[in-house]
Amino acid sequence: MSIAVEAGSGPALAGRRPLAISLIYVFFFVSGMPALIYQLVWQRVLFRIFGVSMDSVTVVVAAFMLGLGLGSLLGIWLATQKTLRPLLVVAAVECAIGLFGVYSLPLFAQVDPMVQDLSLTLRAFVVIALVFVPTLLMGATLPVLVGHVVQRTANVGLSMGSLYRANALGAVMGCVLSTFILFPFAGLQAATLVAAGLNVLVAVIAVTGNFVEAPERGTVPTASVRTTMALAAPIGFGLSLTIVCLSGFVSLSFEIYLLHIASFESGTSGLVLSLTLGAFLLGIASGAQEVGEWCKTNAPGRPLSSSMVGLLLMHGIVGLALLPLLTHTAFLGKGLTGIIALAAFLIARSLGGVFSLIGHFTVPPDGDAGKRAGFLYLANILGSAAGSLITGFYLTEFVGMRALAILLSAAGLAVTSFFIWRFSGRAGRLTFRVMLPMLAAAALLAACQYPLTQTVMEALLFKTQHAARLSRVVENRNGIVAVDQEDVVYGGGVYDGRFNLSLVHDTNGIIRPFALSLFHPAMHDVFMIGLASGSWAQIVANNPDVRHLTIVEINPGYLPLIAGRPEVRSLLRNPKVEIVIDDAHRWLKRHPGRKFDAIIANATYHFRANASNLLSVEFGRLVAEHLSHGGIYVYNSTESLRVQKTGCAGFPYGYRLFNNVLVANDPISIDAKHWRDVLTAYRIDGRSVFDLKQKSDAALLAKVLTLAHYVAIQWPSPENQPVETCSSVLVRTAALRVITDDNMGTEWRYPLGLDQR
């Protein structure tokens, strides 16, 4: 038996004004824009406070999900308050979100120094507390609006699908606005102000919609509708909640998985990660739209069509086909980004329809529709939060990329197949004609996953099917670290160093750590940010002056690589060396009293996601507080003039040393004789770096020592010399802006072809 009231007819539509319904969809579309802007901005700021480790990323995402889920409970309560005007409630909620948004960044800055010594668990509670109010309010709007719109459409699936689509499309626009306009040209604080302005716009549209609505509200007889729904739905509401929860788990897990792949393929480009997220959101909108259109012409008692069956199962096929496709289309180069984005779209499109379909089949279009939709939304969000935590913390840590594709696809197909089976109805034979071939194709792809993807890492990294095989790959939740057969180390998809200590064949600029004693006469206590191949750390640790070396590395995946290399493995058992797995920004804040003679940063490329956290003026000030008298700070500019200017503008003394910036709070002491003494005393693993009895070593030492002469000479074109004073750098870069935490340097401008340096 099916409901007699169809969309577009019946008493529920009596007195409805199309303009009012249109305004509801418009303001829910607009409300998705600031929500996504806030999420991107707040994630960015919270990562800076709590560290840019995958643990922090996972916690922040889960905190957002939890806030949205609990917000649905508030929405359920609001939806049951018959005396409230729903559109005015939404207007008040949006104004409250905007007010929080305006003051959010100063609030986060105030909390920053209070949380540095807390454990990960306690920091997670702080994150939840910080974003609880705005995400609670964001999560409350859907149940309120579903209950309101259902009274005007008498179709839960259509209402939920249309609202979900509108909000997801708004989120896509927020992603585009942030990626291409706000972040490259305005900065974080300006982005929050724009988002707050959009909140106010939503409130204005909601108030307008409230006043143009017809005063009468048609209703569907509650008792008859509930009876009809009970006869039409083959499962209870409790099982519906379980299905929605599991689909949310699989959906968010797939999102993390796809971002994991996109990060390695793009070299952790913030632009690519944002586009992947945008494609995922667009897929959710597209799936919600297709489901909404199907619900518009099909009552809840009718069986699923073959197109709906295909849509629900598509994510499993795409999830299993993605890595083989990437492996064998490496010749597309940067086009692989498009394939990943397309996969994100199709997977989200498939899973994004489950929520609305479940609502269509199990939620009566009566006065309690908003309440029941709120519970479905809560289940979906809780499943998404669990997917973030379990996949982000554990699956990406212990399950490789290919195994994870099989696991997530199998889980998703199991959930949607059960859903299809229970809702196939009288058209079961037709349904299984579609379902069984798709499941068979998925099984075949799963069985062939490993044979078809043997060189997937090489394809993602080198963008060619003919590249030399990687000699070692380490996958964990913090990313992917790989080594090729020429001893080059790649972290997160880009060059990250080379296993080499030789000055004869200086393929990795190893002269730079050897040269540090030229600029400091007694470098006893050293702090190093980033481990990479361990080559720099090995040089510094074996410097005769150095008594203690503290290394902070965010990804423990480098440790097994170093342990397997004879050049650097002794670093791990050197009594002078202390290796800490943590975010350097957070570590320095947690140890305000520690002072170092030298701080060295193996800084990553200036255009990578979150790179400016280690390149900004603010981080330079933090480093300056940890330098002892006469201490030096050395970090890689990766050929960026803005990075060079930022360092030289933030410290009173300094040089450009090759492509590094070397700066200090105090005048830098240049002592060529001391440097020569250090170089001749250098021993690594018991072997002298320079054996002066050998003519070749003596000649090499003389060549290295010529670097000291470059410091004193006033070159007519200093930018072409190995060493350049900061005063010269500042003259050359006068027209450039320094990097701040707010403007984020070139992270968002460089990929767009703007501000290339």
Q: How much is the pLDDT for 18? A: 64
Q: How much is the pLDDT for 425? A: 60
* Domain co-membership, 266 together with 413: yes
* Domain co-membership, 491 together with 604: no
According to DSSP, the β-strands at 627-636 and 596-601 are parallel
DSSP string over 419-483 = HHHHT-GGGHHHHHHHHHHHHHHHHHHHHTHHHHTTTHHHHHHHS-TTSPPEEEEEEETTEEEEE
Report yes or no on 1 lying in a domain.
no
Alpha helices in 180-305 (DSSP H): 188-212, 222-232, 237-266, 270-297
Residue span of the structural domain in which 443 resides: 11-452
Report yes or no on 196 lying in a domain.
yes
* Domain co-membership, 530 together with 436: no
Two structure tokens written together for 585:
């920004």
* Domain co-membership, 543 together with 492: no
Report yes or no on 504 lying in a domain.
no
Q: Extract the residue ranges of the chain whose pLDDT is less than 50.
A: 1-16, 216-221, 223, 225, 227, 229-231
Widest CA span in the chain: 101
* Domain co-membership, 273 together with 179: yes
* Domain co-membership, 587 together with 724: yes
Q: Is 633 helix (H, G, I), strand (E, B) or coil?
A: strand
* Domain co-membership, 400 together with 528: no
Q: How much is the pLDDT for 712? A: 75
Q: Tell me, what DSSP letter sits at residue 596?
A: E
Q: Is 552 helix (H, G, I), strand (E, B) or coil?
A: strand
Q: How much is the pLDDT for 430? A: 62
Q: Token pair 């997160």 is at which residue?
A: 492
* Domain co-membership, 235 together with 366: yes
Beta pairing partners, 655 = 662, 725
Report yes or no on 688 lying in a domain.
yes
* Domain co-membership, 548 together with 693: yes
Report yes or no on 5 lying in a domain.
no
Give per-residue pLDDT as tens, 487-532: 999 999 999 999 999 998 898 999 999 999 999 999 999 999 999 9
* Domain co-membership, 124 together with 213: yes
Overall domain count for the chain = 3
Q: Model's pTM, two decimal places?
A: 0.91
CATH of the domain at 697: 3.40.50.150
Q: Token pair 């982005």 is at which residue?
A: 191
Report yes or no on 505 lying in a domain.
no
CATH of the domain at 316: 1.20.1250.20
* Separation between Cα atoms, residue 92 and residue 86, nearest integer Å: 10
* Separation between Cα atoms, residue 639 and residue 658, nearest integer Å: 9
Report yes or no on 457 lying in a domain.
no
Q: Are 218 and 13 in contact (CB under 8 A)?
A: yes
Q: How much is the pLDDT for 345? A: 97
* Domain co-membership, 28 together with 141: yes
According to DSSP, the β-strands at 548-553 and 525-529 are parallel
Compute CA distances 41 → 46, 131, 189, 347, 719, whole Å. Answer: 9, 12, 8, 26, 36
